[in-house]
Chains A and B, each alone.
Chain A
Amino acid sequence: MFEATEHTRRMQRREGIIKYLLSAMTLLIVLPLVLIVLFLLYKAAPVLSLDFLLENPIHGMRAGGVWAPLLGTIYLVLISLLIATPVGVFAAVYLNEYAGDTWVTRAVNLAVVNLAGVPSIVHALFGLGAFVLFAGMGRSILAASLTLAIMTLPVIIASTKEALAAVPLPFRQACWNLGATRWQTIRHVVLPNSISGILTGIILQVSRAAGETAPVMFTGAVFFKAIRPGDPFAYGLLDQCMALSMHLFTVSTQVPDVPEPITYGTAVVLLGVVLLFNALAILIRFRLRSRKKW
């Protein structure tokens, strides 16, 4: 009695085909990630060991490990983190807790969106003009970290804002009713309740800062710098440094005849650092979601 008409059947067939088509498209987007990681690991396998991390590049970067670039990246990331975290978190507090719907707020929101959209090479030009030349820092870890900090600020602002917005309004109202001021409420109720979300943002900032090349290339990172292997305090604030991202660029395009495993090894270490931090951020977010009290 209720038999499907020819038209309905045709529509259902089309639906099936389209579903396959869409999932094939998705697979083609997702597959590269897996393939790339496996390919890099396979090619880098001969050199991957703890020594590769702890040895300096030697013989014109054709042998040895990645200690100097790795340490440089750690310096750049940590210092940019120290600068970007307070500014970013408080900027998000301003946007979420204080700002009304005024033109100032709209301007700040627009600025954050644009800051995220400015090409990394333009950030490099800015860092060169403002920090290296105008402020007289020269090409140094400090100038490069400041450039990175400004570049990654939107990452922290966006995720902190999201975390703050997830704290329900009644939490704040209860605190205000006890006579607490706005700042006391933020300090003792809002921030503690959104700490995991803020942490996620900071970790994502780390991952982003570690991978950036163009902004550090002209503000503080150099092709080669000899430091003592194994010494974690080998760089000073106003020194130039090597950086993993730039090192990968150097060994893959600037230096001829670098043995393949070394370039692939550098890529794996860089990708490993970045993906590790991202995975950590994802894990924290999952734990946070399962432990949510409201």
Chain B
Amino acid sequence: MKPARRPLEPVKEWLIERFIWLCGVSAVLFVFGIFLFVFREGSSFLWHGFKAGEFFTSIEWYPTSRIHVRYGALALITGTFSVSLLAMIIAVPFGMGTAIFISEFCPPRLKEILKITIELLAAIPSVVWGFIGLTLMNSLLLRLFDAPLGLNMLNGAIILALMSVPIIVSIGEDALKAVPDSYREAALALGCTRWQMVLRVLLPAARNGLLAAVLLGIGRAVGETMAVLMATGHSIRIPHSVLEPVRTLTATIAAELGEAPVHSEHYQVLFIIGILLFTITFAINLGADLIVRGIRRKS
């Protein structure tokens, strides 16, 4: 029996495989595209008139001043880093503790429930977190501390911590799970308690994965927009205590982009902030990826 002849079949297959390839590399194109277009919108001011010295060292952000327009982003940069740092001071111990508990101490049924809850926690949209900061956390902080304002750095940091904990927990737990069971058995056979095993064997062995988890948590905190826009109080200055309001790079773009006329200097400076944010998060993600890849190669 002769097989049915389908002359177009190889052509179709070739076309489909080209399409699949195209979809695959599209991710690369999109990342390039993001950089390119954000850069393009900000480029003409970046080459002519933009003062990098002022941008990085001055705290005077007066983009709409009539007499003397100044674009000093130092207070915004400090705002982003102080809020992210405080968020990590809260989120890292809690995230690590939860990851260790879920991975090593918790019964299997509870483990399922906890993992689902953490997944749902990660799903809460950032604008809802911002709303929580604005309402619940605001009145909570006013009641607990004697602060004049409930919308401040601490508020934003607690919200950001809750937002980045799920990432730290899930990636940290993966890292702990990747440590071979023979390590655990060896440690327990030597008479270690479980905690000694975690502290002396698992944590050193999973070091890189845990570091990657923290890095991705930082990436999330630095890039978060709506929650910090709504919860940190939005005042441009270098904070002296955690109960003072601050303003971040992301929130500045979100708050001012709508009012800046298209292609004006102010508009272009906001895109330059975008380039800065893109570069920071790119570096963080690249670092985390290299670390994770390093583990995979070894194991």
Contacts and interface: CB of A to CB of B under 8 A. Distances in A.
Given A125-B253, A214-B226, A275 B123 contact: yes
B20 A114 contact: no
Interface in A16-48: 18-19, 21-23, 25-26, 28-30, 32-33, 36, 39, 43
A104 B25 contact: yes
B21 A11 contact: no
Contact of B23 (A11, A94, A111, A217): A94
B97 interface: yes
Given A39-B136, A211-B128, A270-B125, A117 B281 contact: yes
Contacts of B114: 26, 30
A267 B226 CA distance: 14
Interface residues of B, number: 82
A125 B41 contact: yes
A140 interface: no
B126 A153 contact: no
A121 B27 contact: no
Contacts of A39: 136
A211 B31 contact: no
Interface residues of A, number: 89
A267 B124 CA distance: 11
A29 B225 contact: no
B27 A157 contact: yes
Interface in B1-21: 13, 16-17, 19-21
A218 B127 contact: no
Given A213-B126, A252-B134, A119 B289 contact: no
Contacts of B206: none
A183 interface: yes
B183 interface: no
Interface stretch (B53-61, B62-70, B270-278): B270-278
A118 B120 CA distance: 22
A133 B262 contact: yes
21 contacts: A12-B193, A26-B101, A39-B136, A86-B23, A91-B24, A94-B24, A99-B24, A107-B28, A113-B288, A118-B281, A119-B250, A122-B278, A129-B40, A130-B33, A183-B13, A211-B126, A213-B126, A248-B127, A249-B226, A252-B130, A253-B230
Interface of A: 11-12, 14-15, 18-19, 21-23, 25-26, 28-30, 32-33, 36, 39, 43, 86-91, 93-95, 98-99, 104, 107-126, 128-130, 133-134, 150, 153-154, 157, 181-184, 207-208, 210-214, 217-218, 245-246, 248-249, 252-253, 263-264, 267, 270-271, 274-275, 278-279, 282
9 nearest A-B pairs in the assembled complex, by CB-CB distance = A211-B125, A119-B223, A94-B24, A90-B23, A25-B97, A129-B37, A117-B285, A22-B101, A111-B27
